[in-house]
Structure 1
Amino acid sequence: MLGWVVTFLVVALIAGLLGFGGIAGASIEIAKIIFFIAIILFLVSAVISIFRGRSRV
């Protein structure tokens, strides 16, 4: 998922250098959304793993 973020950031940088401001802005917004979704999923996964703990046999 973070690979997509890097891809959109690279697209935004290239589009910004070539003068395509609309595409650059849209790519940055998409990258931000995907980044925050990835962070939220990571935090939810960490909290669930803390509460589940290790099972005793």
Structure 2
Amino acid sequence: MWENTKAPQIALCYWRLPADAMMRDLLAIRADEGHHREVNHTLDSMRPSETNPFCPGQ
């Protein structure tokens, strides 16, 4: 269903997507944003002396 549904205009503007972007593209963005959230919350809860648990590019 998401492959054939166009992304709404507000999403096109917010993420600067091309006019032909589909909802499937937004699902990929949402997954990426969720990963950033996990990384940011993990790093925020660490002490400065702790080692970063994430590999570069992870």
TM-score by length of 1: 0.47
- Structure number with the bigger relative contact order (C-alpha 8 A, sep ≥ 6) is 1
Higher helix residue share? 1
Over alpha carbons, which structure has the higher Rg? 1
